[in-house]
Amino acid sequence: MSDEFQPLLTSRYGIEGSHTLAVAEKHGAYRTARRALTMMSPEQIKEEVKKASLRGRGGAGFPAGVKWGFLNPKEGEEVYLVVNGDESEPGTFKDRTIMNQDPHRLIEGILITCWAIGAHTAYIYVRGELKHSIDSLDAALAEARTKGYVGDRPFGKPHPIHIWTHSGAGAYICGEETALLNSLEGRRGEPRLKPPFPAVKGAFGMPTIVNNVETISAVPDIVELGGERWCSLSRLAPTDGGVRLYGISGHVKKPGIYEAPVGITMRELIYDYGGGMLHDDHPLKAVIPGGSSTPVLRPDWTVDAPNEDHPLHAWHGKSELDVPMGVDTYRALGTMLGTCCATVMDDTVNMVEACRNLMRFYRHESCGQCTPCREGGAWLVDVLDGLLSGRGKVDDVNMLVDIANNMMGNTICAFGEGTAMPLLGFVQRFADEFVEVAKRGLPLDVRHDESTRALVKGGVAA
C-alpha cells in the first residue's frame, strides 16, 4: 500500500456531513465543474477523458472516451446521459459508497459530462433496494438545484442540465445498459437487440451515453488533473488509466472499499488492503476477482505465458495473484476484471457449493427473454443441486460444461456469458473437486460458511 497515495474518489469519505453541499463544496466539490462549464469547450473535456484512458467501471471496461465518441446526434435529436447505479453484481458494492457518502461528486461528474456530450437531461438509475442512496442523491440534487448548479443555467452557462434519479425495483439485469434503458422507459428490464447501440438509439429512442456511477465520478478528477496526469496515476498507464475503487469481501479481515491506482495486484488487495485472510489457519483457496461473472482465480495456479509476445509474459510462472489488476491483463489471464470487487474464499469453501450459490443467483435474475439463458441457467442449478445432494454422476460435470459452452455467445445480451463464464471457470480450475462431489455428494458437515458461522452465532462481529 502506497503511503503517498492521495485519495481522489474517496477524498471526502469519512468527513462529517460529506453528503451535504456545504461540506462537499468546502472540500472542493463543483470547483472543476464550474471551470469546465465556464472555461472549457466540450471538445477539450472529451479530449482529456480520452487521454485519461478511463476504462468503464461497470464491468466491461470499455474506454469511456471512445464511447462518448460514438455520439453523432442527428438534427433535432436530444442527447441523454444515463448513469448506471444499478449495482447488483454479487461481490460489488462500490458505487453505493459514492452515492451515499459523496453524491455531489457524482453530480459534478454528470454536469461536466452533460456539457461535454451536449446532453441536457441526465437520469441516475439506482437499484430500488438502495433507497438511502436515492434519498441521498435526491437531497444532494435539491441542494444543487437551489444553488443553481443543476438547472437552466449551471454556473451561468446557458446550457440547461436537468438531473433526475430513477429508481429500479429489483432486477439485476437492469445493470445491462439496454435493459436499464427499458426499465427507465417503464418497461420490463429485458435487454434490447443491438445494434442499434445506445449512442445511436438509446433512452426514448435518442442518442444516449450510459456510464457507471464510478466512471462519471472520475470525470471531475480527470478534468482537474488533466487526462494525461490522471492516467499516469495508474500502474497500467497508458492503456488503463487512473485510480479506481477496489472492493473486497468474503473471508478477509478487513472487507470494504479501497481506492488505489489501477494495476495493483490481487495479492496486494487481499493481504494489504483486505488485511489478509480472516483466519490465519485457513489459507486462501480461491478468489473471484471482479464480481460473480468473472472466472475464479486460484493462488496456486501460475501464469502460463512462455511466449515473449504474450501480454503476461513478464509474469510467466508467477501466481495468478501477482498479475496487475487491469482490464486487459485480466482478460489475458482468462478471467475479467469486471467491477474490481473481489470475493475471497478460504480453504473451507467447497467450490461446487460456491458455484451453485452463484448459479442460483443467475437463475433468479435471468430476464427469461432468450432461450439459452432462461433454460440453460436454470438447468445448471438443477445439475449442481444433483451433484451436491449425491444424486449426480461424474458425467454430469461434462454436462455442466456442455450446457455452459452452449450458452456462451448464443444469447441476446452478455448475461448468458456472465452465467456460463464463471461456471466454466469453476470447472476448469477445480475440476477435481467437481468430480469428487459428483462421486460422493457434499459431506454434510461442509458448508461454505464453515469458518464464519461461529462469528455470527457467537455474537462477535468481524
- Using CB under 8 A, count the residues that bind another protein: 105
Quick one: cell of 86? 444499478
Among 7, 300, 406, 439, binds another protein (CB under 8 A): 406
Q: Which of 235/408 has CB closer to another protein?
A: 408
Among 230, 273, 330, 379, binds another protein (CB under 8 A): 379
User: Min. distance of Cβ 397 from another protein in angstroms?
Assistant: 9
Among 11, 232, 302, 428, binds another protein (CB under 8 A): 428
User: Min. distance of Cβ 379 from another protein in angstroms?
Assistant: 6
User: Min. distance of Cβ 462 from another protein in angstroms?
Assistant: 7
Quick one: cell of 243? 485510480
Reduce the secondary structure of the chain to three states and give it as a string: CCCCCCCCCCCCCCCCCCCCHHHHHHCCCCHHHHHHHHHCCHHHHHHHHHHCCCECCCCCCCEHHHHHHCCCCCCCCCEEEEEEECCCCCCCCCHHHHHHHCHHHHHHHHHHHHHHHCEEEEEEEECCCCHHHHHHHHHHHHHHHHHCCCECCHHHCCCCEEEEEEECCCCHHHHCHHHHHHHHCCCCCCCCCCCCCCCCCCHHHCCEEEEEHHHHHHHHHHHHHCHHHHHHCCCCCCCCCCEEEEEEEECECCCEEEEEECCCEHHHHHHHHCCCECCCCCCEEEEECCCCCCCCECCCCECCCCCCCCCCHHHCCCEHHHCECCHHHHHHCCCCCCCCEEEEEECCCCHHHHHHHHHHHHHHHCCCCCHHHHHHHHHHHHHHHHHHCCCCCCHHHHHHHHHHHCCCCCCCCCHHHHHHHHHHHHHHHCHHHHHHHHHHCCCCCCCCCCCCHHHHHHCCCC
User: Min. distance of Cβ 253 from another protein in angstroms?
Assistant: 12
List binders of another protein among 326-355 (CB under 8 A): 334, 341, 343, 345, 349, 354
List binders of another protein among 90-109 (CB under 8 A): 90-93, 95-96
Q: Which of 47/129 has CB closer to another protein?
A: 129
User: Min. distance of Cβ 14 from another protein in angstroms?
Assistant: 15
User: Min. distance of Cβ 229 from another protein in angstroms?
Assistant: 30
Task: Give φ, ψ of 425 to 5 degrees.
Answer: -60, -45
From CA 145, how far away is CA 154, in angstroms rounded? 9
Q: Which of 173/233 has CB closer to another protein?
A: 173
209 contacts 82 by C-beta, under 8 angstroms: yes
Binding mask 164-193 vs another protein (x if CB under 8 A, - otherwise)?
x-xxxxxxxx---------xxxxxxx---x
List binders of another protein among 126-145 (CB under 8 A): 127-132
List binders of another protein among 381-400 (CB under 8 A): 382, 385-386, 398-399
Nearest by Cα to 121 from 156, 84, 150: 150
Q: Which of 139/235 has CB closer to another protein?
A: 139
Q: Does residue 201 bind another protein (CB under 8 A)?
A: no
User: Min. distance of Cβ 288 from another protein in angstroms?
Assistant: 8
290 contacts 341 by C-beta, under 8 angstroms: yes
- Region binding another protein by CB under 8 A among candidate stretches 68-76, 106-114, 124-132, 213-221: 124-132
Q: Which of 230/362 has CB closer to another protein?
A: 362
From CA 105, how far away is CA 150, in angstroms rounded? 13
Which amino acid would we find at residue 249?
Answer: S
User: Min. distance of Cβ 185 from another protein in angstroms?
Assistant: 5
List binders of another protein among 240-299 (CB under 8 A): 247-251, 255-257, 288, 292
User: Min. distance of Cβ 67 from another protein in angstroms?
Assistant: 19
Q: Which of 231/252 has CB closer to another protein?
A: 252
| Cβ neighbours around 9 below 10 Å, total | 23
Q: Does residue 83 bind another protein (CB under 8 A)?
A: no
- Region binding another protein by CB under 8 A among candidate stretches 16-24, 215-223, 224-232, 357-365: 357-365
Among 365, 387, 418, 437, binds another protein (CB under 8 A): 365
284 contacts 353 by C-beta, under 8 angstroms: no
Among 141, 144, 367, 384, binds another protein (CB under 8 A): 367
Distance of CA 461 to the CA centre of its chain: 27
Among 66, 139, 408, 414, binds another protein (CB under 8 A): 408
User: Min. distance of Cβ 358 from another protein in angstroms?
Assistant: 6
User: Min. distance of Cβ 39 from another protein in angstroms?
Assistant: 30
List binders of another protein among 32-71 (CB under 8 A): none
Among 15, 23, 401, 414, binds another protein (CB under 8 A): 401
